[in-house]
Amino acid sequence: MTKTANKNRRAQPKEVRKEQLIQATIKCIAKHGLSGVTMGLVTREAGLSMGIANLHFVSKEKLLLETLQSVTSEYATGQAEILDSEDFDSVAAKIEALLAFDFSANVGDKNKLAVWFGFLGEAKSRPTYQRICSRQDSLSEQKMTALFQLALDEAGDTSSDANLIAAGYIALVDGLWLNSLVDPRRLPWKKSLRAARHYLASALPGHIKPPSEKGDT
């Protein structure tokens, strides 16, 4: 066996344990809230010892930051696969893919949403959290603005503002996610998708079809 193979074999358990701790932290935040998370709760959820946790994360704050980075990076990667892709047949198809992604089962995972809003709620008083959250929103807004501008250009629309449409969509989606998390009976996931589709259909007519019938996405 090569030295590289040996090195990779030794490194794998470390990365696996780190991921176990991050996933356990996600669950603990969803159960107990951001302020209620302790290293003890996380290690019990992960089934690992405190010693192993301290080996990978020198403090609870470091673990929380890694967890926020993990959740935001996962979302950013999925979104970038759509917004940066040149494989779509049309601008409309790319916008449809973006809408489907934002209301997919993975993005709508209750635990991950709880993490996002838990950190977002603390962002005003925690500059590090704010930087991570704001960086994701800023990048999304830039890429969506470019995409929506293409749609407006195709439609010959010179009066609408692509950046305002992008900013409005991001704010709307955040609000729909939050309300679906807090009160899923009043605002189930499918209704959130319909609301987002209605917004884009109004802002970009001809590129997004509005919800056709009640209950239909």
pLDDT (0 to 100) of residue 135: 86
CA–CA dist 82, 164 (Å, integer): 20
For residues 181 and 209, membership in a common domain is answered with yes
Same domain, 191 and 110: yes
One domain for residues 1 and 48? yes
- What DSSP string describes 148-211? HHHHHHHHT--SS-HHHHHHHHHHHHHHHHHHHHH-TTTS-HHHHHHHHHHHHHHHSTTTSPPP
Q: Are 125 and 214 members of one domain? A: yes
In a domain, 63, yes or no: no
Cα angle for residues 198, 88, 193 (degrees, 5° grid): 25
Query: Quick one: which of 109, 111, 132 has its CA closest to 34?
Result: 111
pLDDT at 93: 97
Same domain, 74 and 162: yes
Mean pLDDT per block of 10 residues along the chain (217 residues) reads 45 80 96 94 94 91 94 94 96 97 96 93 86 87 97 96 97 95 93 96 93 66
Instruction: Provide the residue range defining the domain that includes 196.
Output: 70-217
Closest CA to 120 of 75, 163, 81: 75
**Does 97 share its domain with 43?**
no
151 and 176 in a single domain? The answer is yes
Q: Are 88 and 162 in the same domain?
A: yes
pLDDT on residue 11: 42
Co-location of 109 and 2 in the same domain: no
In a domain, 203, yes or no: yes
Q: Which residues lie closer than 8 Å to 177 by C-beta, 6 or more apart?
A: 108, 113, 116, 117, 192
**Same structural domain for residues 23 and 114?**
no
Domain count, the chain: 2
